[in-house]
Structures are given as structure tokens and as C-alpha cells.
Amino acid sequence: MGEMNPEPVECHSGYEYAERPIAIHWEGERLEVDVIEERWRIPGGKCFRIRVRDGRRFELFYGELYDEWRVNPL
């Protein structure tokens, strides 16, 4: 059997799922979130603009309907 790919985003979940991202998996690396620069809701999901420890920035989208994360570099 092949290796399972990890979820693209590790998140803290408290009262609800995906309250805040703590790490992302990008191009074979695990990158820890240093700063959440911005967060907002859109119909059907949550968005985060983050900076990881090495300074790269990403925009994350969690789609609640399909329980799916998308990661986009900025």
C-alpha cells in the first residue's frame, strides 16, 4: 500500500472545527504557522492569510460543505 498524504492543514479545533491553522503541508514540508495575519468568513467557509516561520505567506480556505482545505501561496 502507498503512503497516505497528510491533510494539507493542521488546525486547532475547540468549540468548532478549524478555529485556527497551526501548520500546513506544502511541497513535502511541514511549515508551522508563525502569524495569522487575517481571518474572515465567506459563505460556506473560512479563510486565513498566514505567514510561516521562514517568512513565506499563504492563503488558506476551508470549505465546510466538502470538508476540504485549499492552500495557495502568495
Using one digit for the tens of pLDDT, what is the confidence trace for 3-18? 556 789 999 888 888 8
Q: Tell me the pLDDT tens digit for each residue of 5-56.
A: 678 999 988 888 888 999 999 999 999 999 999 999 999 999 999 999 999 9
CA–CA separation, 63 and 30 (whole Å): 21
Asked if the structure places residue 42 within a domain, the reply is yes
Asked if the structure places residue 1 within a domain, the reply is no
Q: What is the count of structural domains for the chain?
A: 1
Asked if the structure places residue 3 within a domain, the reply is no
Asked if the structure places residue 60 within a domain, the reply is yes
Asked if the structure places residue 53 within a domain, the reply is yes
pTM above 0.85, yes or no: yes
Q: Which amino acid is at 64?
A: E
Asked if the structure places residue 2 within a domain, the reply is no
Query: DSSP of 37-50, one letter per residue?
Result: EEEEEETTEEEEEE
Parent domain of 30: 9-73
Asked if the structure places residue 4 within a domain, the reply is no
